[in-house]
Amino acid sequence: MDATPVAKPSLKVLLASPRGFCAGVDRAIQIVEKAIEKYGAPVYVRHEIVHNRFVVDRLKAMGAVFVEETSECPVDRPIIFSAHGVPKSVPAEARERQMLYLDATCPLVSKVHVEAQRHHQHGREIVLIGHKGHPEVVGTMGQLPEGVVKLIETVEDVATFTPKDPMNVAFVTQTTLSVDDTAHIIEALQTRFPGISTPHKEDICYATTNRQEAVKAIAEASEVLLVVGSPNSSNSVRLVEVGKRAGVRGAYLIDKAAEMKDEWLDGISSLGITAGASAPELLVQELIERLATRFDLTIEEVAPTRETVRFKLPRVLTA
């Protein structure tokens, strides 16, 4: 006699929205794809085009070759600069070598570059709020002569920053920071330097802000949070931090469904899911499929905001 099938435990899944690809990431990936289509393989990409292992591996399979320095590329093949932006010396080197290059820098990162240059032209000392060594920080600091931009990572760093003229200071920020953490640093800067020049519009990009707000919206009703994204993705790591701060029992970053550990979900009845701005929706759906093998799922999408932003591709790829 056949055994009676054991009923799966119920699990409510709260899907954060927006999640996954932002307009800057989508544009950068399209630039690589269309460059391969137009110029043939290989096409070289300086640094990971976006910080996601799945995306990078897929583009490699299409014919993209990822390098760390422009000098590693042959002069007769196109080179693409990543969405995080590059120091001014990088396109200068490509021009000197007479290379065809395409700039996939996110337009919102480029906005920060322009702001930093404007402050410098006005003689202000510039503070960059960001994480040391992140490609976006390297690119922003590299827009101006060495030593001109001072990196601030914490509130404590504000106390040790001593400008030549405290009345002539400006700040810009990395676009993928924690909104809450950055607010504390900005508050400390404005308290210490009441006349500090601020960005015309907040530097932390809309996509980073929206994804963090969406996590806050699902956190109260979620016992555990899973964030789909790679460990070198700043905005993905921030989503885990936001979830923990919002009170979920556990918050975990996974590159793909196979990395999820079953014990994380033992005894829970509600689960929050989101994805960093460089993680494709396919990976979220694979995670849901894996969950469905163990649980009877009820899925609810929670969308505090909607995104409609699109960025144009370089004309050379659309002509």
Token look-up 């505090």 returns 304
**Cα three-residue angle 33-37-41, rounded to 5 degrees:** 90
Nearest to 126 by CA among 163, 178, 174, 177: 163
User: Identity (one letter) of the amino acid at 17?
Assistant: S
- Are 278 and 229 a contacting pair, CB within 8 Å? yes
User: What separation in angstroms does the CA of 146 have from each of 89, 102, 120?
Assistant: 11, 25, 12
Global pTM reads 0.92
CA distance from start to end of the chain:
68
| The pLDDT of residue 146 | 94
| The pLDDT of residue 7 | 86
User: What separation in angstroms does the CA of 275 have from each of 7, 52, 167?
Assistant: 29, 11, 41
Pairing of strands 64-67, 250-254: unpaired
User: Hey, what domains does the chain have and what are their CATH numbers?
Assistant: 10-21+206-302 (3.40.1010.20), 23-106 (3.40.50.11270), 108-192 (3.40.1010.20)
What residues contact residue 81 under an 8 Å CB cut-off, 6+ apart?
A: 46, 47, 90, 91, 101, 102, 103, 104, 105
CA distance 179 to 196: 19
The token duo for 96 is 């000197």
The token duo for 24 is 């800057």
- Are 264 and 250 a contacting pair, CB within 8 Å? yes
CA distance 169 to 188: 13
Q: What is the DSSP letter of 4?
A: P
**Residues that are catalytic:** 136
- In tens digits, the chain (319 residues) has pLDDT values of 555 667 899 999 999 999 999 999 999 999 999 999 999 999 999 999 999 999 999 999 999 999 999 999 999 999 999 999 999 999 999 999 999 999 999 999 999 999 999 999 999 999 999 999 999 999 999 999 999 999 999 999 999 999 999 999 999 999 999 899 999 999 999 999 999 999 877 788 999 999 999 999 999 999 999 999 999 999 999 999 999 999 999 999 999 999 999 999 999 999 999 999 999 999 999 999 999 999 999 999 999 999 999 999 999 998 7
Nearest to 273 by CA among 299, 308, 307, 241: 299
109: part of which helix (H) or strand (E)? Answer: helix 107-121
Backbone phi and psi for residue 3, each to the nearest 5 degrees, phi listed first: -75, 145
The token duo for 69 is 């320095």
Sheet with 149-152, side-by-side order of all strands: 149-152, 125-129, 169-173
